[in-house]
Amino acid sequence: MESFEDEWAAAPEAVRRVLVLAHEALTAGGLAVGSVLTGADGSVLAEGRNRAYDDGPGRGPLHGTPLAHAEMNALGSARTGCDMSALTLWSTQEPCSMCAAAAAFTGVGTVRYLAPDPWALASGNDGSSGVPHTGMQTWLVAANVMFLRSVLVKAHGPDEPTTLTRCRELEPETTALHDALPAGLPTETAVETWLAAHWAALREAAALRDRRLAR
Ligand SMILES: [Zn+2]
């Protein structure tokens, strides 16, 4: 088995950074989504994480508003007139309709994401456009597990969040792993520590997912 350290070092900078940002949003009690804009050489030029649920004084006018999606915060760093066509917008999750429209409107050349949106999956999108390299499936599972946990932690009331229920059907391996993890927010303050602690389980869930999709 490839070690976490080797896989992490081999991952594109954008993949590492969006996972760091998603984990940061998760441990801050927000929705675990991270996003970056990269140049043609793959270097990270701008970044953002979901800040829709951040309280108090924040960064920029979107902070604490329903518009403060990770992708909007990353796109908001690009100045008017910047040639976006050579840039790639990365996200841990498949961008929602607002963020996809913002990326299209600003002329972003490429959009990539690690994990498909469960609602988009329900409409027939298999998310394959967001998985550009073999070996990315583990990052997909990691991104989705963090996202599910952030949705669950934020939920109020006795009913399970619809997103989690939907994922039980559409992403059973990821949801099973999510359920097996310690309750609440992760205690690991760095995403690398969290990933390393659950690496074997993340790899196994990714392998099971691959097997299901290959059938
Ligand atoms: Zn969005």
The better pLDDT of the pair 137, 192 is held by 192
**Residues 95/125, Cβ–Cβ less than 8 Å:** no
30: CA distance to ligand 1 center in Å?
A: 14
What is the pLDDT at residue 135?
Answer: 58
Ion ligand 1, residues whose Cβ is below 5 A away:
69, 96, 98-99
CA 144 to CA 179: how far, in whole Å?
12
215: CA distance to ligand 1 center in Å?
A: 32
Instruction: Give the chain's mean pLDDT.
Output: 89
The better pLDDT of the pair 84, 128 is held by 84
Locus of tokens 């990821």: 174
Evaluate if residue 44 carries a pLDDT over 90: yes
Instruction: Give the pLDDT confidence of 137-171 residue by residue, as tens digits.
Output: 899 999 999 999 999 999 988 899 988 998 999 89
pTM of the predicted structure, to 2 decimals: 0.92
158: CA distance to ligand 1 center in Å?
A: 27
CA 19 to CA 17: how far, in whole Å?
5
68: CA distance to ligand 1 center in Å?
A: 8
94: CA distance to ligand 1 center in Å?
A: 8
155: CA distance to ligand 1 center in Å?
A: 19
